[in-house]
């Protein structure tokens, strides 16, 4: 580690911001990496792994600490409990860090941050855990499967119970296991500017590795790749030139399901940051038009920035509240994309803190908002046109239940197909898509 920056102290501050102050993990970690760009690759990887890993496995870490500490995690000072969490993570999941080093560095950091009197307590708890790390056990699934899954996979009990009820024990286990595996970064080539083969060569020249997806598993995504061997995708010249777009493969499926035809007019009602709108515009091959909308000028600015980088001409941006009817758009769109605000429980590999901040009440409020938006924006679909409803979550209330409600309240639409995509160990977040087609007569 460098003399000027204590990487473990940066990690501790990240955890305090995310787990105590309610910061968003991807933003907090990203801001620290941007501020300390001079850190070498090894230090940046160390910081990222411990920060993300500790947040991802917080419930498991707390259970272990509670088992070996006379003071329960909830009663500890915030700095001490997060210092213990990150240190236990190193002991349990980082073979490159000797247990003694994890303990000693934690004690030093406690002293540095004004808690010298608790140095002995920190040392005692961590050394006790290190001595018994091979004996760690989890709650018995036969006695309480919800509690067992919650601790083993660090998922709040209410979410675990809901998934077991809605999708069964084994599907829930597969999801929970997948959420603890790092998600590969996937990108989509910009066909207007470069071929997939040329993009691979271009990225290789920058030291990055783009691997095509398995064509048998993803036959409709020949322009999609997993990307590795880079520090930040935004730092690549190919990204700055708009040669590719960073997008999860589940999200890419939205435009594929919509299947735009040349000349189509499309509206994306909650478009930021613009990936699906841009994908539609690319599939239109310079014809038709896509109008990308979102609620705030900040979000609209982000969409506009992405459009400009990709050099597309058949797409525009508009600030529009999706719950407010736009009379001028009624019956005008061949395709409406409604990728709506949701609980985000499908993207926990990338934004693990979501599972700690989401509540059953908030989930219900989101489901109600989704219905309100669908009730408005379906009016924009012309006869014979398509409405695509999608979310990046795994939630029957927000997904299947909402589609059933929509079909009942809007009989002029036929649900052609819908699919709950579960998170995979490889590429692919948890995602939901439904395709609804409007009858030929208004």
Give the Å distances, CA to CA, from 213 to 38, 225, 397. Answer: 33, 6, 32
Question: Does residue 324 sit in helix, strand or coil?
Answer: coil
Q: Which of 316, 435, 437, 321 is nearest to 382 (CA)?
A: 437
Question: Catalytic residues, which ones?
Answer: 392
Helix (H, G, I), strand (E, B) or coil at 247: coil
Q: How far apart are the first and last CA of the chain?
A: 67
Q: How far apart are CA 226 and CA 184, in angstroms?
A: 6
* Closest listed residue to residue 164, CA positions, set 145, 148, 151: 145
CA dist., res. 45 & res. 52, Å (int): 10
Of 197, 201, 138, 145, the residue nearest 170 (C-alpha):
145
* Torsions phi, psi for 71 (to 5 deg): -110, 125
Of residues 172, 254, 270, the one with CA closest to residue 432: 254
Strand partners, 333: 381
Supply the DSSP string of 356-374, one letter for each residue. Answer: HH--HHHHHHHHHHHHHHH
d(CA 393, CA 121): 41
Cα dihedral 392/396/397/402 (nearest 10)? 80
Task: Could you list the beta-strand ranges (E) of 315-430.
Answer: 315-319, 333-339, 381-391, 413-421
CA 424 – CA 114 distance, rounded (Å): 43
54 and 61 in contact (C-beta within 8 Å)? yes
DSSP annotation of 75 reads: G
**Total number of residues shown for the chain:** 442
Pairing status of strand 289-294 against strand 315-319: parallel
**Cα–Cα distance between 236 and 234 in angstroms, integer?**
6
Tell me the C-alpha distance between 415 and 387, whole Å: 9
**H-type helices in 141-245, by residue range?**
145-153, 157-167, 169-179, 196-205, 237-240
């Amino acid at each position: 580690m460098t003399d000027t920056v204590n990487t473990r102290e940066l990690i501790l501050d990240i955890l305090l911001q995310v787990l105590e102050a309610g910061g968003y993990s991807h933003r907090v970690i990203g801001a620290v990496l941007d501020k300390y760009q001079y850190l070498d690759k090894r230090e940046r990887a160390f910081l990222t792994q411990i920060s993300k890993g500790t947040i991802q496995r917080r419930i498991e870490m707390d259970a272990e600490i509670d088992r070996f500490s006379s003071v329960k995690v909830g009663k500890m000072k915030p700095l001490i409990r997060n210092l213990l969490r990150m240190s236990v993570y190193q002991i349990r999941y980082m073979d490159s860090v000797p247990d003694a080093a994890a303990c000693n560095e934690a004690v030093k950091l406690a002293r540095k941050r004004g808690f010298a009197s608790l140095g002995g307590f920190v040392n005692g708890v961590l050394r006790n855990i290190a001595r018994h790390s091979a004996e760690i056990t989890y709650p018995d699934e036969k006695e309480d499967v919800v509690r067992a899954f919650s601790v083993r996979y660090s998922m709040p009990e209410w979410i675990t119970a809901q998934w077991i009820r809605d999708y069964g024990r084994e599907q829930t286990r597969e999801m929970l296991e997948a959420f603890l595996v790092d998600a590969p970064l996937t990108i989509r080539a910009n066909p207007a500017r470069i071929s997939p083969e040329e993009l691979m060569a271009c990225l290789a020249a920058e030291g990055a590795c783009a691997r095509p997806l398995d064509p048998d598993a993803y036959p409709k995504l020949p322009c999609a790749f997993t990307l590795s061997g880079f520090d930040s995708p935004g730092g690549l010249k190919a990204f700055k030139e708009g040669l590719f777009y960073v997008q999860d493969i589940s999200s890419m499926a939205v435009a594929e399901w919509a299947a735009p035809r040349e000349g189509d007019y499309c509206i994306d009602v909650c478009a930021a940051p613009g990936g699906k709108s841009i994908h539609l515009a690319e599939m239109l091959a310079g014809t038709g038009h896509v109008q990308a909308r979102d609620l705030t000028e900040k979000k609209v600015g982000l969409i506009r920035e992405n459009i400009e980088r990709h050099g597309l001409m058949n797409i525009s941006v508009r600030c529009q509240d999706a719950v407010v009817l736009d009379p001028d758009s009624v019956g005008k769109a061949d395709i409406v994309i409604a990728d709506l605000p949701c609980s985000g429980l499908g993207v926990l590999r990338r934004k693990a803190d979501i599972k700690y901040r989401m509540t059953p009440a908030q989930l219900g409020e989101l489901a109600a908002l989704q219905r309100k938006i669908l009730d408005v924006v379906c009016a924009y679909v012309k006869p014979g046109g398509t409405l695509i409803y999608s979310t990046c979550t795994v939630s029957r209330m927000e997904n299947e239940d909402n589609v059933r409600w929509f079909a009942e309240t809007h009989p002029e639409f036929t649900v052609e197909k819908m699919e709950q995509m579960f998170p995979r160990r490889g590429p692919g977040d948890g995602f939901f898509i439904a395709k609804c087609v409007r009858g030929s007569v208004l």
